[in-house]
Chains A and B, each alone.
Chain A
């Protein structure tokens, strides 16, 4: 798989470390009476879709940037690559 890095261009996926579903960026807030189940669901449960999946790739053997890659899990086609900070911005707008 070739990942189109926003600044460094096409990079082999083996330069990256895979960190899973991009939903993990949105950790629930800690409150006084933090609900155990909310944290359980955040840490352990996954949507695991067959199809479009937004996921975290860390460019460990590169510029150490965190990327959100949108990829089709049924055929490995990469649909979009963006920096985490840009993704979070656009996520907040939605």
Chain B
């Protein structure tokens, strides 16, 4: 069924009786060409691009819970392509271009809102670093604008420019950055993949791999054994737990990241703002809640909740740049499990086991990557060749000395 304004109008007049289920609920077949483990954003976009762009349709997505129960439904929905390193920036710019056409592509309203992302700077040194970053963005074909404090004041008069400790000197603005309705991304991709014959199987947990003579030929699940020519792991924060079942140790630690939503307020914030001297970023949802977050808690965790010291730190960050939010009450908070890699950059690669592929290591920034991650993973799975913008996301890059460390922190996942 094609969605359109006319369809909504017609259904409104005729009692909304003509809407179909958005995807089917199939029982798993015995064998597929490709099994994707994990029905999060990346797993579903992989299935979508496999079936819609690479003509591979005999595909199943196995999801242990319901679609959107992982990080795709827990993130703070920010998209941007403002990276520095040449291994990263073209990938994220490719992703932003896919976001820009996502709704036409999938015929689904995912509320892509290019409201602009502002990264505040607080010192001359930081301004220089942002000029360099902006130039790197422009070189990759992305947009970047440097705003001084006067220009920024026009956009966001309520910021605490005169803060004694962290005065605000300006911002790096990416106008094409913004937010997207996160669950709608999962639903739109699921619907598009389902329409091309992909089986989306919920409540199906993979708890083992069938490996014969060094080749992975299937998975064990709570719905029985399912075979496939290729098995694609795509479970984000659960990567370590899942891949250990194939005997693989990863350059990844799992950490918890929290997010917060305030009570609904009148429109005040029409872009995304990030603090440059601490960990705080904020946007306002269409329902009026301020959606904000900060740093990961910093210790290994598979529990989808965090602790109070980070709550305090995030709120202090917020108060430092926009004291007015001190009046707002917090409505909800939650946590998600991040696959923090050793250099802060992701992996889209084959493993040393034939037929077993890996996608993960997205840290706290994998939402913006959802379209490109799926596209490039689909490319790898369909052609056994990495997509050019993702060819550096290899599992052996630490051994080869080809580390992609945006922050220069070294092998300490909780600092990326």
Contact = CB atoms under 8 A, between A and B. Distances in A.
| B and A form one assembly | yes
A76 B298 CA distance: 12
B241 A50 contact: yes
B147 interface: no
A47 B398 contact: no
A13 B309 contact: yes
Contacts, number: 73
Interface residues of B, number: 25
Interface of A: 1, 12-14, 18, 20-21, 36-37, 40-41, 43-50, 53, 55, 71, 73-76
Contacts of B254: 48, 50, 73
A21 B302 CA distance: 15
Contacts of B301: 73, 76
B252 A48 contact: yes
Given A13-B309, A18-B414, A20-B412, A48 B398 contact: no
Interface string B341-366: 01000000000000000000000000
Question: Which secondary structure dominates chain A's binding surface?
Answer: mixed
B228 to A, nearest CB: 25
Interface string B277-317: 00000000000000000000011111100010100000000
A12 B301 CA distance: 17
A47 B298 contact: no
Contacts of B241: 48-50
A48 B250 contact: yes
- List the 10 shortest-distance A-B pairs measured between CB atoms, nearest first: A48-B240, A14-B309, A45-B249, A50-B302, A44-B398, A50-B241, A44-B251, A18-B299, A40-B399, A73-B302
B303 A48 contact: no
